[in-house]
Amino acid sequence: MPPVFQIKFHKSNGQAFVLHQRKRIYLGAWSNHPASPPESVVARFRQVVAQIALGEVPGAPNRKSGGKDGRGELLLSELAADWLAWAADRYANPETARNLAYSLKPLLDLFGPEPAGAVGPKRIAEAQKAMAQVHGWTRQGILKATARVRQMFAWGVAQELIDPMHLVKVKAMQPLRHGAIEAPESPGIDAVPVEDVAATIPHLGETVRMMVRVQLLTGMRPAEVCAMTVADIDRSNPRRWVYRPSDHKMAHLKRVRAIPLVPEVIAILVPLLRADGKPIFSPADEIERWQKEKRARRKSKVQPSQVDRSKADPERCPGDQYDTRAYRKAITRACRRAKVQPWSPNRLRKLAAQQICDAFGIDSARALLGHADSSITKLHYAKLELEAASKAAEALGKTLGAI
């Protein structure tokens, strides 16, 4: 009896796929899941099933004799599927692959069935208009999505899937400067007010509360807090530990990230140190701690049938590590309980940067945040520059205002 094939969805990278001999064959982006898959995915699915029926090896299409257009050219949807599959394996954070797939959606919706080599600057410009007019993206969001499109074509050239001259054309596109497209400007994200953090902390679980305090005292990125392990911490100096994340944003550029951990942070971490190699901040430990506290608060006698109410084979189990999405959601829920405007972990980093800049200057903020140079710090924390300029102007007013 021939096998029955189904179009499935990969949550991590936003791709449709079909299973054949226990291997995934990616079919393309499925951005509107769980609605019906797009036509490009269905067409690729039929092509894969036909290849299997003919005894051919499915997977990447036959570039010399196969392609949907009949000329053997690689389709844009196929290039995107290959690149997103590579990205899902390349990046440890599954949210990265989801963001890449989301950025490609408008372009694939318009030109997915076309040959990748035919999708040049003019078609990308059309997709940019759709990003603004149909999807309502900001100009900054469109710029980021366009950069990811260029990354996809650069990867295709490196894999010898498309002509290198096509990448030259794509890179020749002019950046979208202010007013170049009818798209709103991003309002930017300010540092979270200290009062909001103080009001939220009592409503957080113990583990997330410690994560927030560590991030606030170090200025590290949310992903760096989530991934912290004992093996990554140099404890040779008992008064100042140094956290060197093994995997961080700039690791692919061979840059070393060194985060100093002062006594206030050390005091938070000491009770959590563990020798099993797992991340210090664990959702599983938080659930276990919560259950123990709940049992301790119980006033009535525990019945024998309620000693252990855990399922023998649960569908979902708490993991050993928070991801940035779960970390953010935990904070958002606590904000609602505290009745303050929800804030994200990245705004904690901005708050730490603002405090350091006010006290020690932009270069100290750059060093703590792990930026390559102060121009990056100024770009992302322009408000710090405004505060510095305002203080300078106030000083001029006091000294020269009487003239």
What percent of the chain lies above the pLDDT cut of 70?
74
| 39 alpha carbon, distance to own chain's centre | 28
Q: Which amino acid is at 354?
A: Q
Residues 6+ apart with CB under 8 A from 87: 13, 96, 97, 100
Question: pLDDT tens across 74-90, in order?
Answer: 899 889 988 988 888 78
CB 110 within 8 A of CB 123: yes
Please report which confidence band the pLDDT of residue 64 belongs to, taking 50, 70 and 90 as the band edges: very low
- Output b/e per residue, 108-124; b: 16+ Cβ within 10 A: bbbbbbbbbbebeeeeb
Average pLDDT over residues 221-240: 91
Nearest residue to 383 via CA among 197, 199, 192, 194:
192
* CATH 1.10.443.10 residue window(s) in the chain: 194-295+319-387
Which of 61-65, 172-176, 274-278, 368-372 shows the lowest mean pLDDT across its residues? 61-65
Does residue 248 carry a pLDDT above 80?
no
In which order are the strands placed within the sheet that holds 8-10? Answer: 8-10, 15-20, 23-29
Does residue 151 carry a pLDDT above 80?
yes
Q: What is the mean pLDDT of the chain?
A: 80
Please report which confidence band the pLDDT of residue 288 belongs to, taking 50, 70 and 90 as the band edges: confident
Q: DSSP label at 277? A: S
Question: pLDDT tens across 98-138, in order?
Answer: 889 889 999 988 888 889 999 999 999 999 999 999 889 99
Does residue 69 carry a pLDDT above 70?
no
Please report which confidence band the pLDDT of residue 336 belongs to, taking 50, 70 and 90 as the band edges: very high
Residue 145: per-residue pLDDT: 94
Please report which confidence band the pLDDT of residue 298 belongs to, taking 50, 70 and 90 as the band edges: confident
Q: What is the pTM of this model?
A: 0.58
Which of 77-86, 323-332, 371-380 shows the lowest mean pLDDT across its residues? 371-380
Residue 258: per-residue pLDDT: 85
Residue 179: per-residue pLDDT: 83
- Higher-confidence residue: 254 or 205? 205
Nearest residue to 110 via CA among 135, 74, 82, 136:
135
Please provide the CATH number assigned to the domain covering 194-295+319-387: 1.10.443.10
Residue 36: per-residue pLDDT: 82
